[in-house]
């Protein structure tokens, strides 16, 4: 029989309860990571899509460690205590907005025949090539040109 921790027995439809469970889990993971490194036992990689326990590797003396803003966030218990329903909803809204932007970027890149990783210069170059090919004055298609213009506007909204 599987035993469940009391902290994880809650209404899964309650966003605040889910936030708190998530926060406690990641708080614990970051504490564990610090402990494993201090005792030189292992290295714990913590990411949104992957958590991995890796062999310990000593760092070169004087080597700076990378700043981890998520570690800073999850180790500060005031975030757990002070985050209310409105804050959780704002976090969720921001997540969905970022996801939509990511999906829009992938769709816009596909219109240009590109995919990530790609830089702005390559996007501009490919856009110009496609416009030259599909411009109605050169025998191209107006609908295709409009798709290209919408794609570049989504990818590089501040282009000049």
Cis peptide before 117 (omega within 30 of 0): yes
Q: Is residue 102 in some structural domain?
A: yes
Identify whether 160 is part of a domain.
no
Residue 44 to residue 109: CA distance in whole angstroms: 35
How many domains is the chain partitioned into structurally? 2
My answer on whether 70 and 99 are in the same domain is no
**Domain boundary pick from 48, 64, 83:** 83
| Mean of pLDDT values over 44-68 | 79
| pTM as predicted | 0.62
61: pLDDT strictly greater than 70: no
Are the beta carbons of 135 and 148 closer than 8 angstroms?
no
Name the domain boundary from 64, 83, 102: 83
- Which tens digits make up the pLDDT trace of 91-118? 999 988 888 888 999 999 999 999 999 9
CA angle 54, 33, 45 (to 5 degrees): 45
Q: What is the DSSP letter of 136?
A: G
Tens digit of each residue's pLDDT (9 = 90 or more) over 69-87? 899 999 999 999 999 999 9
Of 31, 57, 83, which residue constitutes the final position of a domain? 83
Q: Cα dist. 87→7, 12, 73, 91, 93 in Å?
A: 21, 18, 14, 6, 10
The Cα 8–Cα 67 span in angstroms is 30
Q: Write out the residue range of the structural domain in which residue 55 sits.
A: 6-83
Task: Tell me, yes or no, whether 10 and 35 share the same domain.
Answer: yes
Whether 141 contacts 150, CB under 8 Å: no
């Amino acid at each position: 029989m599987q035993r469940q921790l009391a902290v994880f027995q809650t209404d899964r439809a309650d966003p605040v309860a889910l936030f708190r469970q998530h926060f406690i889990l990641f708080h614990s993971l970051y504490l564990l990571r610090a402990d494993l490194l201090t005792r030189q036992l292992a290295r714990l990689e913590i990411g949104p899509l992957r958590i991995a326990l890796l062999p310990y590797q000593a760092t070169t003396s004087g080597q700076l460690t990378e700043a981890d803003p998520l570690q800073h966030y999850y180790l500060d218990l005031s975030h757990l205590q002070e985050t209310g329903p409105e804050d959780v909803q704002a976090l969720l809204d921001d997540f969905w907005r970022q996801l939509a932007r990511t999906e829009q970027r992938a769709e816009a890149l596909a219109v240009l025949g590109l995919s990530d990783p790609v830089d702005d210069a390559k996007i501009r170059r490919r856009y110009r090539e496609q416009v030259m090919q599909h411009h109605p004055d050169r025998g191209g298609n107006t609908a295709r040109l409009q798709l290209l213009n919408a794609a570049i506007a989504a990818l590089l909204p501040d282009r000049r």
